[in-house]
Structure 1
């Protein structure tokens, strides 16, 4: 009997070893600073943003680099974690935020030269569990308690699974408050610059826990887009998000608000959707590509660029109603892009960072090629 018990115990320990190993690796990655890289601009880069006249980009294993010469030369920043970074935004030329795998949120106050961790997946899960427990115990018996049972179980699962889920984007609101979103419906907010955080998951109409991928603000509207065409809309800076009718059943990976009031959404298989003004219906824009689109921006001259999975770069001169392809010397999967102070564009992707000159964009936009419009 003693031998049998010992065999069962050994089997249980062996079965748990992969999980323990993964948990240990996550713990190490959260505590280990990003390693210095010989050629940082050739590593996998996932996000890039402007900080005043500086460009800052982030990618695999906590790598962050910055450039003060319009994306020609880059220096590596000091980063306290070695997890892949997936999104980056700046509130000013000095203060910025980055999010990434394992529920990491980083803050910089020196234009991206050094970073501090202000949230990770372990803390986020504990916050979600505490909020769910408080709501559940405060509810009266019956239907109210039953409705809160599911969120409580979800929060308990977050804690048990550990810091294994990524944040995908961070929203900086006009009042300075923050909202970070991510996989499986993760959503947390801060009103004090990241010192404290509150879960927002139960305030979003996302009962299936679909992943949230992107955000855009148009006038007083706030939009969140995500998995399986998930589309949420709020009115006002701190308005409550409500489900909006989506034109897509495929995942939406990003949204872009243009200066003329146009809102674009883009995602799976090259799909783009166009709304000319608040209240206007969505029109489908047929693009010359069928690979997923991950990034969008508007140039100073009003043209719109979209980039994506197959190394394609699309340009529109009519506020996103039609797009044509841009000829690039190199193509690899792109995930983000930013305009440099001198008007060029820096693309971030699977093979690092690539600068595309303004003249090349101008020539490409006027060259013949497939061009299809919204219907």
Structure 2
């Protein structure tokens, strides 16, 4: 939230639709109270993320749109959602319990595999909690107000600004812990956790070493390491058994100058970070240094997944897909007929590939995916999914 922070405008524009800059103080925005409207062609809408929930797949996008499929992406159903803000990320702990986050600090929870959702947190509550936590920390020390750069003075100023600006900041990712607790992170260094299914929340900004208030674009976990990553190469790391408390994270020397938009832990123990202008960084094992990996693209990479045969796919903002068959050490471009900004990808239960993007949802059948990955394969052609 610091005024020194500079958001990657292009990335946030892609991940979340515009939100009001001015709203009545203390008033919950209408978009956080208004249910998502029924969409005639939901698979053609702007979709921002997709995740597996057991055998089901769930995709989220603009204006509170959530859709799910139980037949590997051939037919889709629109879910019941209590908000109409754009949703930027979705994750499931199992086939029934899942979370989604989005604009205006919206946090949603489902216990029926994504068919219906409940709002459990929002930007106004987040702002109030941030100010309360900052005030308590300030009162415990009472630093000299003349020390403008004192961390607690800056924390309090940022929290008060957060309250004044209202619910206008998005959350961008969710971390799920084995004990059922969650961590949500987003713009201007916002970070909140809940250990009781979203009934209560705790502000974590004070405990994270991010004095400039850089945006967190994501959360990643590899064996006994956890990472927060984001704007201008921001990278925080914690090590140890289980998901750590926020205070366990330490700032890392940034392996990148540009923003990091995604991370992918691989089966062999490597971790791949990717982001601005096709940048890819790889750490071979926990604690290993980062090495830059060349890619044949110069547009931002936003999403990735590893296939059952260990092939790694990274997808980007210009509709590009790059593949690696050596655990992320080298990448080659896949020839694509269909190109528009891709935002997410997931493997369907039948082995097909589903991709979300600004023009909706595309499905690659198992046979089409196999041909696309063949060394001399023909240009990949996606199949539009059936409309519900």
Instruction: Output the CA distance in 2 between the equivalents of 1:19 and 1:257.
Output: 36
Aligned equivalents of 1:19 and 1:183: distance in 2?
14
Q: Secondary structure at the match of 2:346?
A: strand
Match of 1:183 in 2: 187
Q: 2:169 matched to 1:165?
A: yes
**1:69/1:25 Cα in 2 relative to 1: closer, same or farther (>3 Å)?**
farther
Offset from partner CA, 1:260-303 (integer Å, 9 cap, x none):
10000000000101111122221111111100000011111111
* Partner of residue 210 from structure 2, selected from 196, 206, 210: 206
The one of 262, 270, 292 aligned to 2:270: 262
Number of residue equivalences:
352
Superposition deviation, residue 356 in structure 1:
1.3
* Cα distance in 1 between the residues matched to 2:77 and 2:86: 18
1:216-231 to structure 2, matched below 5 A, reads 216-231=220-235
> Aligned partners of 2:259 and 2:132: how far apart in 1?
31
Residue in 2 that maps onto 1:350: 358
Rg bigger for which structure? 1
**Deviating more after overlay: 133-142 vs 340-349:** 133-142
Q: For the Cα contact (< 8 Å) 2:355–2:363, is it kept in 1?
A: yes
Aligned ranges for residues 123-202 of structure 1 at < 5 Å? 123-142=125-144, 146-202=150-206
Show the counterpart of 1:7: none
In the TM superposition, 1:90-101 aligns within 5 A as: 90-101=92-103
- Aligned pair in 2 of structure 1 residues 126, 140: CA closer, same or farther (>3 Å)? closer
When the two structures are superposed, what TM-score results if normalisation uses the length of structure 2?
0.87
1:159-196 deviations in whole A, cap 9, x for unaligned?
A: 00000000000000122210000011010001111111
Tell me the residue number matched to 1:314. Answer: 322
SS of the residue 2:331 aligns to: strand
Unaligned runs of 5+ in 1: 1-17, 370-375
Cα distance in 2 for residues equivalent to 1:188 and 1:275: 28
Partners in 1 of 2:323 and 2:75 — Cα distance? 26
Q: 1:78 to 1:229 in 2, by over 3 A?
A: same
Out of 260, 274, 277, which is 2:282 matched to? 274
- 1:57 matched residue in structure 2: 59
Q: Which moved more, 1:307-316 or 1:273-282?
A: 273-282
CA deviations over 1:191-236 (Å, ceiling 9, x no partner): 1111110001111111000000012111110011100000110012
User: The residue matched to 2:137 in structure 1 has which SS?
Assistant: helix
Label 1:340 to 1:187 Cα distance change in 2 as closer, same or farther (>3 A): same
- Is 2:48 the counterpart of 1:46? yes
> Which of residues 241, 245, 251 in structure 2 aligns to 1:243?
251
- What does residue 331 of structure 1 align with? 339
Among residues 227, 231, 252, which one is paired with 2:260 in the alignment? Answer: 252
CA 1:253–1:184 in 2, change beyond 3 Å: closer, same or farther?
A: same
- The runs of 4+ residues in structure 1 deviating greater than 3 Å are 18-26, 140-147
Q: Which of residues 8, 19, 30 in structure 1 aligns to 2:32?
A: 30
Contact 2:50 2:59 in 1 (8 A): yes
Contact 1:325 1:365 in 2 (8 A): no
Higher relative contact order (CA 8 A, sep 6+): 2
| Alpha carbons of structure 1 residues 161 and 342: separation in structure 2 relative to 1, 3 Å | same
**Residue 117 (structure 1) aligns with:** 119
Q: Distance in 2 between matches of 1:246 and 1:19?
A: 32
**What is the alpha-carbon distance in structure 2 between the residues aligned to residue 20 and residue 291 of structure 1?**
32
- TM-superposed CA distance for 1:127, in Å, is 0.3
1:72 aligns with 2:74: yes
Gaps of 5+ in 2: 1-19, 378-388
Relative to 1, partners in 2 of residues 1:238 and 1:199: Cα closer, same or farther, differing over 3 Å?
same
Find the counterpart in structure 2 of residue 5 from structure 1. Answer: none
> Could you tell me how far apart the structure 1 residues matched to 2:140 and 2:26 are?
36
